[in-house]
Amino acid sequence: MQGQPYIVRKDLVLVGGGHSHVAVLKAFGMRPEPGVRLTLIARDIHTPYSGMLPGYIAGHYDFDEAHVDLRPLAHFAGCRLYHDEMIGLDLKNNRVLCRGRPEVPYDVLSIDIGSTPDEAGIPGAAKYSLPVKPVDRFLIGWNAIEHRVRDATRSFRIAVVGGGAGGVELTLSLQHRIATSCATAPVQFHLFSEAPQILPTHHERVRRKFARILSERNVSVHLAHRVHEITAEHLLATHSGSNLVFPYDALIWATNAAAPGWITRTGLAATPGGFIEVDDCLQSVSHPGVFAAGDIATMRNHLRAKSGVMAVRQGPVLAANLRHASRGETLSAFFPQRRFLALISTGDRRAVASRGPWTLEGALVWRWKDRIDRRWMQRYRDLPPLNGMNAGTVVPGHRNDGVAIREISELAMRCGGCGSKIGSTVLTRVLARIPIISRADILIGMRDADDAAVVEVPAGQVMVHTVDFFRAIVDDPYLFGNIAANHSLGDIYAMGAQPQSALAIASVPFGSEAKIEQTLYELMAGAAVSLEESGTALVGGHTSEGAELAFGLSVNGLAERSRLLRKSGMRPGDRLILGKALGTGTLFAADMRHQAKGRWIDAALESMLQSNRTAADCLLRHGAHACTDITGFGLLGHLMEMTRPSQVDVEVELDSLPVLEGAIESLTRGIFSSLQPENIRLRRAIRNLEATATHACYPLLFDPQTAGGLLASIPEANAAACLADLHQLGYIQSAIIGQVLEPSDTAAPVTLIL
């Protein structure tokens, strides 16, 4: 995370990673707006590009070719990325309500969340059909259907409901994928359209072409069939006054677009279909400062069909208007075309071009479409270097240089003579909003006005103390607070203790009182998740302002003296068990360089958020002799802290090391954490260094971890059962990585096994 060289004056919040918002992020990355802080709330980190999705389904593109990775794009824009889902709006207080995190305040808001297929209240549709949106869930569902097709021993019937361009294109893509797969049983496709023709918004010439193509592919087309009910095995439809029953094995729902129901409950002006109604400037007709684009929006004065093309073309105007709105300037109008070129793929590497009565078909059209799509994706994949700039940095020649210079002057005037403390009023309001655990052994704590906390130590127990504090590695204060607290608790669990109380240490970036309060609240609310889960009482702390977000905890815990785990108890014959996968250091170094895929970072975050509490209990039950948690010194550094006081040697099997997705690829590119060179100095502890240093997992020995797993020395007889229990408890990547040996005469106690 880079420091923040500006005062936060406005919060611009983007909800959804649709095509328009992708353009907004690129625009703000190319020309940051001083004083404007961007936040992106996205349910999916990898957003599919509609133009390439049919080709991806058909098998012509891989996942990364057909999806925009929002994480590096957000970093490029200096935008905070919150991986969550919007579930509502508080328009009175300018708050976005999210499913899994605190509400997010905004000054200017833009919504680009796409749409869902319209099930029109048809009984059974939601339960038994697979909707094409959201796309990530459709792809998971289709993968399951594909497995069923491959295992089928009889004819398999796939029904697709929706005869528009999307439904036809999807049907042909799925049909091509199945035709080129290893299916042994015949597969039948049935396409149902309520309209009397397919592609009703296109010219008759285009419809005839696709009718022929569908016939050539043996797709049964059922026109003027109104589906009125879905059961577990049958589709019920009405045609010419008759009720018909069609059996199916899998049913896909690809009808017209629909909006999520919560939009109408927010108070935003909406169409009868529930879409956000916007004016020519893409701003809500009822709430200035709220913008919408893409499928979720309907322009009051320019009714057009929902399409990815429209969302792409709205992007530049939306970016300009969000900039204008944050400055208080006049907005620009967007005038959509009445007709635009549509390039519709036919599943194989062919496509049909459609614009009014003009149409063209063939492999050349596919190559044309492919070139256009790849060029669009390249704009958001090959990002210019940041050159050390972040959002709000002073850009020479920018029209707002005066504003930026004034902000830097304000920063310089923050003397720090008060300890850079955050005001008591802000602090009091924040503490009133977060849950504080009460414990009988906390005699004086957070709710008291004394100068220090007082805790009671029960007779026969010992107190364990630890402290951790570090700068933010993610730009979401709530997520960072959760991770930092989890990281800080790791030392307590590694000692076999139970956490009792904690003191918080927080440094919050400069800003207005309201911005500081919200950031501090999100930070503390995230930390409270880990503290509440562990039963730890927050009894006090210290806050300050600084150039960047940083947080940590001083934690104490209690343990029975006889159950205290140390690093020095390793015994020859013990097996080494590692509780979590390695790789957070290199992955977040790659993330800062825009070279980590979003799904890699998501998996790393999931690992970092997993508490070591139940793992520690499991290790104790299975008689652990020694334990530590893997953090900044890396696996080898912490292993050395165990072997030296234990006076033993160890063998580590490189092939057995659990590794986070993407870590090896990142290391292979030469991307290392800033602490890696310091950790590499410990390589002298490796006995057979020359023979093993070329192994792909070798650099992982030195990779510093955040909220890493526990490393324990377990009696050989208990190791297999302990590992099985860890897997059952959810530590699915835990592994036996080596064994403890008798000490040797050499000064290098570690032997690596290939």
Q: How far apart are CA 211 and CA 352, in angstroms?
A: 12
One DSSP character per residue, 414-472 reads ---TTTTPPPHHHHHHHHHHS-----TTEEE-TTS-SSS-EE---TTEEEEEEEEEEE-
Dig out the tokens for 579 from the structure: 């509780």
Residue 190 β-bridge partners = 159, 220
Q: 415 catalytic, yes or no?
A: no
C-alpha distances in Å from residue 554, one per residue of 495, 534, 551, 560, 649 = 15, 15, 10, 20, 33
| Strand, helix or coil for residue 24 | helix
| Strand, helix or coil for residue 42 | strand
- E strands present in 612-665: 626-629, 649-653
End-to-end CA distance of the chain: give it in Å, rounded: 36
| Residue among 182, 281, 418, 697 flagged as catalytic | 418
> Among all chains, which residue has been given the structure tokens 């600084």?
546
Report whether 488 contacts 93 (CB < 8 A). Answer: no
One DSSP character per residue, 282-294 reads SBBSSSTTEEE-G
| Strand, helix or coil for residue 101 | coil
Q: How far apart are CA 610 and CA 29, in angstroms?
A: 33
Q: How far apart are CA 124 and CA 136, in angstroms?
A: 22
Identify the CA nearest to 655 among candidates 721, 580, 735, 750: 735
DSSP element (H, E) containing 23: helix 19-30
Burial classification of residue 732, based on how many CB atoms lie within 10 Å of its CB (0-12 exposed, 13-18 middle, 19 or more buried): middle
Angle between helices 165-179 and 135-151 (to 10 degrees): 40
- E strands present in 170-301: 187-192, 219-222, 226-230, 234-239, 242-247, 250-253, 257-258, 276-278, 290-292, 297-299
- CA 177-348-216 angle, to 5 degrees, is 95
125-136 burial code (b ≥16 CB/10 A, e <16): beebbbbbbbbe
> Which residues are part of the catalytic machinery?
418
